[in-house]
C-alpha cells in the first residue's frame, strides 16, 4: 500500500513549485515508509510514498511508461488481486513488462484498454494516471472504497490525495468547516456521508467512481454499483457458492513478496479467513501462519456481558490457535497507552474518530508491523451478511434513521443552541437517511419486509461499512501496515447482496448462510459462536481517564470546542450514571466512555488543524 497525491494547474508552470509537491508527499510518509518519489511537469505534479509489498526492487513510483509517441505516468495505492491474469492477457496482446509488480500491470492495462480498464480490476485501489499527450488526468477508486481518494478544486486548481492532510498541505486549501461539516462531525460522526470530505474545500471520490480532469473541466463516472437481480439458487447451492467465492478471494489476497499474517478474534469471520490461510499455506508449502489478537489489561476482571458484546474473545482465540497450530502473538494494552494514542488516531484520520476503538487499532497495527507487513482482516462480513444486532431488532428495523444512530436526539442536545439552529442536526441526519433510502435498487414486486431488509443491507454496505474501512485504512497505514479485507471482494458482495433474507438468516441466525458455507471448515462450537464485536476496554480506569481529559477541555476557556457545545449538558452527562452506560450512542462499541473521548478528539482536531468555522 502507499500514499498518493498531486495537483493540476493550467495557469502556471508547476516546475517552479516543487516545494509544495514535496510537502504534500511528505505528509503521507507513514503510509509509505519505504520510499518516496515525485514527478512534475508544466501543469501536472504527482507524488508518491511507497510501502513495498510486490516486487520491492522494481516497483518505484511515479512510474512512467511509453507507448508509441505517448507517455503515461501513474501514482497508485492498492493491490490488484488478478494482476497475474491481467498480465498474461496483456502479454497475449503484445504488451511487454519490465517488472513483476501490479503497478506496471495497472498502467499497461490503462494504455491498452483506456478508462474501461477499471472494469477488469479485482482489487483495492486508488490511482491517478497522467496522459502527457492528451494533457489529461484519470483517477479511479475501487468498487467498495477500501482505499481512500480525496480531491479539491480550490482556487481553480485540482488537487488530490490519499488523505485530507496531503491536500491541506497545499497553500491554496484552508482547514475550514461549514454547517454541513459540523453536522457530519456532531450528528453523523464518526460516520460520513459518501463523498463528504467534512472540510469545505474537500470532496471524496465515491467508491466505484472514476474521474477525468482536463482543460475542459472535471467529469465523474460511476463504473460500478450494486445491482438487484432475482436469486435462483437454494440454500445448499448458495452456501457452496459463498464458500467458493470466499476461498478464491482469500487465496488471491495471500499473494505477497513480504510476510502475511491474519488478525484473529476467534469469531466467525476472522476464524474463517485464518483457516483458509492455514490451508493455503499448507498446500503451497509456505510454513506456518502467524496470527495476532488484541486485548486490554485487566479486561478479564472487568468484562461484563451485555447485548452488544455477549462474550470475550480470549477463550475462542485459544481454541482456534490450538486447532490450527498457528504461531500466535497476543497483544495487550493498558489504559495510559489507549489514552495517549487518542491524539495520534485523530491525526491519522484528519478528523475525530472512533475514540479508543481507533486508538487501540493503531497501537495494535504498530505491534503487528514489527513482525509483518501485510495482514488479512475480517472487515465487512457483518454488513454484507447481516450480522449486526440492528438487522434483528424491531426498534432498529422500524426506526426512520440509520440503525447505528438511534441516539441522535441525545447528540443534538449536546450542541450549543445557536449552533443547533444553524446546522439543524436532526433535519440533517433525516435528509441524509432519506437520500440513502432513495438510492436503494429495489426489485419489482418485493414485499415490504423484503424491501426493508434490502434497505438495511444497503445502508450498512454504503454508509456504515465505509466508517470501518476508513478506520482500518487510516490506523493500519499510519503504522505502515497493509491490511487486506477479503469480504470486500466485489464479486462476493454483489452475489450476497441478492441472497434473500430468509436464506441469509438461514437457521434463524445472524449470518446464517455464512455459517452454512463454513460447515466443515470451522469447528462446530466456533461456527455457532454468537457475534461479538471488535474488543474494547472495560477497565473503569479508562472511563475515569477520558472523563478527566474532557473536563480539562471544559475547564479551559481557550478550548475551541466550547462555543460549539452545550457545556452544561456535557457536564451533566459526565456527572451522571450515563457515563458508564453500555448503551451505544454510535454503532455497537461507542457508549459513555467513548462519548467523552470523541468530544476530546473533536477539540483536539479543531486545535491541531486550526479549523475555522465559516
CA angle 303, 307, 311 (to 5 degrees): 40
SS (H, E, C) 280-320: HHHHHCCCCCEEEEEEECCHHHHCCCECCECCCCHHHHHHH
Q: Assign 294 to helix, strand or coil.
A: strand
- 167's grid cell: 491536500
Is the separation of the CB atoms in 149 and 160 below 8 Å? Answer: yes
Distance CA 350, CA 608 (A): 10
Active site residue 117: no
Active-site residue among 2, 101, 117, 488? Answer: 2
Q: Assign 613 to helix, strand or coil.
A: strand
User: Residue 561: CB partners within 8 Å, gap ≥ 6?
Assistant: 553, 599, 602, 603, 606
User: Residue 418: CB partners within 8 Å, gap ≥ 6?
Assistant: none
Distance CA 246, CA 239 (A): 11
Q: Assign 12 to helix, strand or coil.
A: coil
Q: Quote the strand ranges of 340-455, DSSP E.
A: 374-376
Distance CA 69, CA 6 (A): 24
Is the separation of the CB atoms in 79 and 122 below 8 Å? Answer: no
Distance CA 528, CA 572 (A): 42
User: Residue 116: CB partners within 8 Å, gap ≥ 6?
Assistant: none
DSSP strand pairing (612-613 vs 176-177) = parallel
Cis amide prior to 62 (ω within 30 degrees): yes
| Residue 168 region by backbone torsions, left for phi larger than 0, else alpha for psi between -120 and 50, else beta | alpha
Helix 268-284, helix 235-253: angle, nearest 10: 60
Give me the residue label for grid cell 513495498: 52
Is the separation of the CB atoms in 349 and 605 below 8 Å? Answer: no
Give the residue numbers annotated as catalytic, written as ranges: 2
Amino acid at each position: 500500500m502507499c500514499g498518493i497525491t498531486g495537483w493540476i494547474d493550467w495557469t502556471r508552470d508547476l516546475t517552479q513549485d516543487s516545494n509544495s509537491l514535496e510537502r504534500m508527499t511528505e505528509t503521507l510518509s507513514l503510509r509509505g515508509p519505504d520510499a518516496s518519489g515525485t514527478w512534475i511537469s508544466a501543469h501536472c505534479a504527482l507524488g508518491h510514498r511507497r510501502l513495498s509489498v510486490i516486487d520491492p526492487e522494481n516497483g518505484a513510483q511515479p512510474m512512467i511508461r511509453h507507448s508509441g509517441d505517448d507517455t503515461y505516468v501513474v501514482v497508485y495505492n492498492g493491490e490488484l488481486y488478478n494482476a497475474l491474469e491481467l498480465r498474461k492477457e496483456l502479454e497475449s496482446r503484445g504488451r511487454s513488462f519490465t517488472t513483476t509488480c501490479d503497478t506496471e500491470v495497472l498502467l499497461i492495462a490503462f494504455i491498452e484498454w483506456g478508462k474501461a480498464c477499471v472494469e477488469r480490476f479485482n482489487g483495492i485501489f486508488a490511482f491517478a494516471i497522467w496522459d502527457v499527450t492528451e494533457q489529461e488526468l484519470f483517477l479511479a477508486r475501487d468498487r467498495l472504497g477500501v482505499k481512500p481518494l480525496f480531491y479539491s478544486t480550490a482556487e481553480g486548481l485540482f488537487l488530490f490525495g490519499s488523505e485530507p492532510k496531503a491536500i491541506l498541505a497545499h497553500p491554496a486549501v484552508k482547514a475550514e468547516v461549514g454547517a454541513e461539516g459540523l453536522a457530519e462531525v456532531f450528528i453523523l460522526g464518526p460516520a460520513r456521508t459518501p463523498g463528504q470530505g467534512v472540510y469545505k474545500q474537500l470532496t471524496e471520490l465515491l467508491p466505484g467512481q472514476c474521474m477525468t480532469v482536463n482543460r475542459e473541466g472535471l467529469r465523474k463516472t460511476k463504473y460500478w454499483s450494486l445491482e438487484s437481480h432475482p436469486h435462483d439458487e437454494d440454500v445448499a447451492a448458495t452456501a457452496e457458492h459463498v464458500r467458493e467465492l470466499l476461498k478464491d478471494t482469500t487465496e488471491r489476497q495471500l499473494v505477497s513478496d513480504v510476510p502475511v499474517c491474519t488478525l484473529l478474534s476467534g469469531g466467525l469471520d476472522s476464524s474463517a479467513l485464518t483457516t483458509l490461510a492455514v490451508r493455503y499455506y499448507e498446500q503451497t508449502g509456505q510454513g506456518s501462519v502467524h496470527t495476532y489478537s488484541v486485548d486490554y489489561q485487566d479486561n478479564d476482571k472487568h468484562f461484563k456481558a451485555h447485548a452488544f458484546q455477549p462474550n470475550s474473545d480470549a477463550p475462542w482465540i485459544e481454541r482456534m490457535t490450538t486447532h490450527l497450530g498457528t504461531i500466535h502473538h497476543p497483544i495487550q494494552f493498558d489504559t495510559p497507552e489507549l489514552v495517549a494514542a487518542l491524539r495520534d488516531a485523530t491525526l491519522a484520520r484528519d478528523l475525530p474518530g472512533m475514540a479508543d476503538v481507533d486508538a487501540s487499532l493503531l497501537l495494535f497495527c504498530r505491534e503487528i508491523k514489527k513482525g509483518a507487513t501485510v495482514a488479512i482482516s475480517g472487515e465487512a462480513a457483518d454488513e454484507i451478511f447481516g450480522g449486526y444486532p440492528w438487522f434483528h431488532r424491531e426498534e432498529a428495523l422500524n426506526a426512520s434513521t440509520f440503525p447505528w444512530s438511534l441516539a441522535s436526539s441525545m447528540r443534538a442536545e449536546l450542541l450549543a443552541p445557536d449552533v443547533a439552529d444553524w446546522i439543524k442536526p436532526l433535519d440533517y441526519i433525516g435528509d441524509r437517511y432519506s437520500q440513502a433510502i432513495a438510492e436503494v435498487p429495489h426489485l419489482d414486486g418485493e414485499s415490504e419486509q423484503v424491501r426493508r431488509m434490502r434497505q438495511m443491507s444497503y445502508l450498512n454496505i454504503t454508509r456504515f461499512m465505509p466508517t470501518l474501512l476508513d478506520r482500518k485504512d487510516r490506523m493500519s497505514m499510519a503504522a505502515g501496515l497493509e491490511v487486506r479485507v477479503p469480504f470486500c471482494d466485489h464479486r462476493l458482495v454483489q452475489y450476497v447482496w441478492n441472497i434473500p433474507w430468509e436464506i441469509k438468516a438461514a437457521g434463524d441466525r445472524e449470518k446464517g448462510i455464512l455459517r452454512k458455507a463454513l460447515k466443515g471448515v470451522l469447528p462446530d462450537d466456533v461456527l455457532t459462536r454468537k457475534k461479538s464485536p471488535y474488543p474494547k476496554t472495560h477497565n473503569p480506569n479508562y472511563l475515569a481517564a477520558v472523563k478527566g481529559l474532557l473536563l480539562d477541555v471544559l475547564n479551559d476557556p481557550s478550548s475551541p470546542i466550547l462555543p460549539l457545545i452545550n457545556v452544561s449538558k456535557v457536564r451533566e452527562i459526565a456527572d451522571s450514571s450515563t457515563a458508564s452506560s453500555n448503551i451505544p450512542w454510535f454503532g455497537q462499541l461507542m457508549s459513555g466512555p467513548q462519548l467523552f473521548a470523541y468530544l476530546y478528539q473533536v477539540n483536539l482536531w479543531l486545535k491541531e488543524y486550526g479549523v475555522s468555522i465559516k
